[in-house]
Structure 1
Amino acid sequence: MIVISKFLVPRGYVGITLFPFIVLKDRSLKQNKVLLNHERIHLRQQLELLVLPFYLIYSLEFLIRLIRYKNGERAYKNLSFEREAYAHEKDFEYLKSRPVFKFKSYF
């Protein structure tokens, strides 16, 4: 389900996935197929890890990468979950063939 809310999306971002919702900053972003595919990949990742563990792993990995890179944007771009989503966001068939626990190969 897609929700529009400029208040739930962090500054500097246009969308965020909070299972089971994709939250977009602006209604016009509903037409952005690449963004929606990126966020759907995150939905699958969250479902695969039963939601709460996804957020714990995501947060812990972000903190580790932030310490390593000393740069929030670089830490974010190097998260295993984000690397998978960015690598496949333009492949609209990806989720049909994505193996279970695919994210492991990004660690």
Structure 2
Amino acid sequence: MKVFYESKLAKWLLWQGYSTITLGCFVFTKKSKEEMKQSTLNHEAIHVRQWEECMIASAVLLTVIMLFTGFNLWVYLLCPLWFYLQYGLEYAISYVYHLCRNRCWINVGDKAYGNSAFEMEAEANEEVDGYLDVRTPFEFFRYYGKI
């Protein structure tokens, strides 16, 4: 995991209240190295691991699909995006769920963001140094169905 501190990309991409984003195996943050908390680094490292797992799983899945359907090799370009597609789908489903459940727009986006399985795993374990050493693969699946 490579961290880019005081990143212009982070300043450009992130709105107020957010300081750090993981894109693939790279972490971009508005903060300086001195300002960055270890828990934030742990949180983002968990996202990097999730991204790696989703990329590998999507490559395996696409290979199986290609064996039966003859998809073009260009489909493999989706592999690095799988994490973000899944994240976006989770967000959309959770957004609709909270919108219907609460029948109002207040904090629906924040609730949907926090109820992503990826976010729930990262938030639950960001204070645990060495979590990635003991984490089982695809641990985020354990958080599906928990809202």
What's the TM-score once normalised by structure 1's chain length? 0.92
Q: 1:27 aligns with which of 27, 32, 42?
A: 32
- Counterpart of 1:62 (choices 91, 103, 113) is 91
Aligned-CA RMSD value: 1.4
- The partner residue of 2:126 within 61, 85, 89 is 89
Aligned-pair identity in percent equals 39
In the aligned structure 2, how far is the partner of 1:88 from the partner of 1:79?
14
Counterpart CA distance in 1 for 2:29 and 2:53 is: 22
1:36 maps to 2:65: no
Pick the structure with greater CA Rg.
Answer: 2
Inter-partner Cα distance in structure 1 for 2:89 and 2:34: 29
* Structure 1 unaligned residues grouped into runs of 5+: none
When normalised by structure 2's length, the TM-score is 0.68
* Structure with more of its chain in helix, by fraction: 2
Q: 5+ residue gaps in structure 2?
A: 56-79, 100-107
Count of aligned residue pairs for this structure pair? 107
Cα 1:10/1:29, change in 2 over 3 Å: farther
State which drifts further: 20-29 or 86-95. Answer: 20-29
